[in-house]
Amino acid sequence: MIDSEGYRPNVGIILVNAEGRVFWARRVGQDAWQFPQGGIRCEESPMEAMFRELREETGLLPKHVRLLGCTRDWLRYRLPHNLVRKRNFPVCIGQKQKWFLLRMIGSDQTVQLDHGHRPEFDDWRWVDFWQPLRDVVAFKREVYDSALHEFAPLVFPSDDVRMMACDAVRLRFGESE
């Protein structure tokens, strides 16, 4: 399903633990790390797609998480030209995503990366909330930045958010403390 502008509807999932660290997963056979994400099927709502993708990619069920928030708007990224499949019709130029923030309430042992028929991830870890801004592929960075900044007040007390956002900007531009 591609919209009239060439974007594929998708969901992104930021899973946070009690310490405010986020679930960071490595794509199978690659040195590429990302948050869980996936396409929305025609018959699904974004929330239904999110819970399906959560189950497929992490093995987690709704009982293992608590929904904390969803982005107000669709966040979009364009694919680099070399990743656009021009022979497909309609041509998909990128993704528009609804992002969900979930708190893990189950134990780490409930994560099962091999739950789906074709696992997307082969490793995972908890990382600092802002680390994905430094580590994600460049074409997804702006979307990650928007989602993390929108969700930060839901994860951290308001006094800490400004300081953490400044730290995130330094990380993004490669500055040291």
Place of tokens 């040291």: 176
Pairing of strands 22-27, 121-127: antiparallel
Pairing of strands 65-70, 94-104: antiparallel
φ, ψ dihedrals at 23, nearest 5°: -75, 125
Enclosing H/E stretch for 94 = strand 94-104
SS3 88: coil
**Cβ distance 63 to 122 under 8 Å?**
no
Residue 100 has what pLDDT? 98
User: Cis before residue 153, ω within 30 degrees of 0?
Assistant: no
Instruction: Render pLDDT for 9-35 as a digit per residue (tens, 0 to 9).
Output: 999 999 999 999 999 999 999 999 999
Instruction: Render pLDDT for 109-142 as a digit per residue (tens, 0 to 9).
Output: 999 999 778 999 999 999 999 999 999 999 999 9
